[in-house]
């Protein structure tokens, strides 16, 4: 099991209350989005419009607002974004990210 169910549920609930908030996409995600020709990759700062839990396999995911022709939200893992330190939940997000990435590396997944 990658996530602590109770801690993850509390963090998800707190983040949902904070919506909308801005995040910065990590360079690896930006490169991936550019390779996929997604117009969202031109902006490193994005607005989170919703969050959900994709199970232990996917973790907490952010639904990013999109203003392109599709109008559909882009869904990315919380581990692939940076939450500004000014956000009250930034510390809790950093702990979640560190724990999840550590567990993924231990299992040989990234």
DSSP state, 20?
Answer: S
State which residues form the domain around 63.
5-101
Q: Is residue 23 part of a domain?
A: yes
**Helical (H) or strand (E) element with 12:** helix 5-18
Q: Is residue 108 part of a domain?
A: no
Whether the ω angle into residue 20 lies within 30 degrees of 0, i.e. cis, is yes
The rounded distance, in Å, linking the Cα atoms of 36 and 47 is 20
> Of 3, 10, 8, 36, nearest to 103 (Cα)?
3
pTM more than 0.75: yes
- Structurally, the chain folds into a number of domains equal to 1
Q: Is residue 109 part of a domain?
A: no
DSSP count for the chain of H helices, then E strands: 4, 5
For residue 74, how many other CB atoms are within 10 A of its CB?
20
Confidence of residue 41 (pLDDT cuts 50, 70, 90): low
Q: Is residue 82 part of a domain?
A: yes
Percent of the chain with pLDDT over 70: 90
Confidence of residue 108 (pLDDT cuts 50, 70, 90): confident
């Amino acid at each position: 099991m990658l996530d602590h169910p109770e801690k993850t549920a509390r963090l998800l609930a707190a983040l949902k209350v904070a919506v909308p908030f801005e995040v910065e996409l990590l360079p690896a995600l930006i490169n991936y989005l550019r390779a996929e020709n997604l117009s969202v990759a031109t902006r490193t700062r994005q607005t989170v419009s919703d969050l959900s839990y994709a199970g232990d396999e996917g973790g907490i995911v952010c639904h990013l607002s999109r203003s392109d022709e599709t109008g559909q939200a882009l869904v990315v893992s919380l581990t692939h974004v940076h939450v500004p330190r000014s956000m009250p939940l930034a510390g809790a997000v950093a702990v979640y990210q560190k724990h999840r990435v550590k567990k993924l590396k231990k299992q040989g997944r990234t």
